[in-house]
Amino acid sequence: MAAEPATVCLIDDVFWIILGRAPSVIEAREESRSLTPDSMRTLRLRLLASPEFLQIRDAWREGRDPYADPHRVERGLSSVGTPTEFVSRAYECLLGRPVDAGGLAHYVDAIAGGDTRRQILRALGSSDEFDRHHLELAPQSDVLLHDTQLCELANPAKWDNPEWVSILRSLGLSDDKRSMHRKPYEFAQLVYGCRRLGVLREDAHIVSVGAGHELVLYWLANHVRRVVATDMYEGVWQDVQGREGDPDVLRRPEDYAPFTYRKDHLAFMRMDGRHLEFADGTFDVAYSLSSIEHFGGLPGAAATVHEMSRVLKPGGILALATEYVLSGPPHDETFQPGEIAQLIDQPGLELVQPIDDRVYQRYTYAAIDLYRNPYQTPHMVVRFNDTVFTTVMIFLRRARTDR
Ligand SMILES: C[S@@+](CC[C@H](N)C(=O)[O-])C[C@H]1O[C@@H](n2cnc3c(N)ncnc32)[C@H](O)[C@@H]1O
């Protein structure tokens, strides 16, 4: 049955007021099928929650004109009726209530004084009353979905998570996706995970194993009670690229600080990760980034994980980043997936969640040839000849009960 002209007119009014356009033929047909007071309410709800309207609302808030062709919109709004009818309908559409006498007089006068109908909509749509009403109608409409996985292969999706990106920026690192790299990923993911797991507290004690002079130590010193950086600070790492194991940091840690930090919250100690010189249950967090693969194969790495677990308080968090082979033959200082499983299968430790090891089944990538040019970015997947690998980030919790 064809809709009455009056109801079609009503649908047009709602579209012009909320979206600044007429309904398409399909929209008009769908909406006019069953017109009841309830369906008009549904139409308002649907349009006010639509991304198309959210863009208009954002433009109102920022003082921009939301319409590509303002004159066309003004002509459409003129079709809504007399100034009194227009203001009444604008109240119903945007504020969900009948207009009051004061509001009606004010806006009808404004139109008589030369204000455009678009200006009336902007005034209503920028009001506190509208914000409250909209929040009640569509409380989730501003929420975007973000990837929040903690245990995973280095994941490009994190660069789309605003909370994660703000950590990256607070570390002083670029959020430009072209400079995507496993190292910034490890730092930001460590902080993100610790924060989500509730262990990044002002009273927390943290130990890093194979720490070198990594940037995140200085960031943590500004956020927790005590950070202890441990490393052998000897051998090849003193000289190879990046001088990550430079022993000078033991004497002059401030020379390596990327920003001002709380000096009395950070200590550097020479120590073998396989034999930590701390009492059982000392720390809230024990972590190691891109190091344990250099500690003597799987036995050395497993001994280190065992030690890190021992020095954790019950319920403490052990965070690990290491090399995870995606394809190809075994290669020194990388781990095959089965070896990673063995490494973390230790009594008293459990994963905080299953590891998402399918990240690179969802992305196209080119593995950076580390022998040829290791400086290229995005630097998320790399290779030594045919061994293609990336970082795996793992968070484990030490059992709360005594072992
Ligand atoms: C690739 S670097 C990583 C440094 C730092 N974690 C980072 O991400 O910049 C590896 C570090 O492990 C250290 N290392 C090697 N064997 C170690 C061991 N048995 N115990 C503690 N640290 C060790 C090296 O001195 C070096 O600083």
CA distances from 172 to 228, 244, 265, 341, 354 (A): 21, 19, 19, 33, 30
CA distances from 114 to 13, 106, 175 (A): 21, 13, 47
Pocket test for ligand 1, best of 232, 233, 291, 391 (most atoms within 8 A of CB): 291
Query: Over pLDDT 70: what percentage of the chain?
Result: 96
- Cα(303) to centroid(ligand 1), Å: 15
Per-residue pLDDT at 1 = 43
User: What are the residue ranges spanned by the domains of the chain?
Assistant: 5-137, 152-398
- Cα(231) to centroid(ligand 1), Å: 6
d(CA 38, CA 205): 58
pLDDT digits over 152-194, tens only?
999 999 999 999 999 999 999 999 999 999 999 999 999 999 9
Smallest CA separation from ligand 1 atom 4, residue? 212
First to last CA, the chain: 75
d(CA 319, CA 210): 13
Smallest CA separation from ligand 1 atom 14, residue? 210
d(CA 40, CA 11): 8
Which pTM value belongs to this model? 0.83
| pLDDT greater than 80 at residue 34 | no
Q: Which atom of ligand 1 is nearest to the CA of 244?
A: 27
| CATH (residue range 152-398) | 3.40.50.150
pLDDT digits over 329-366, tens only?
999 999 999 999 999 999 999 999 999 999 999 999 99
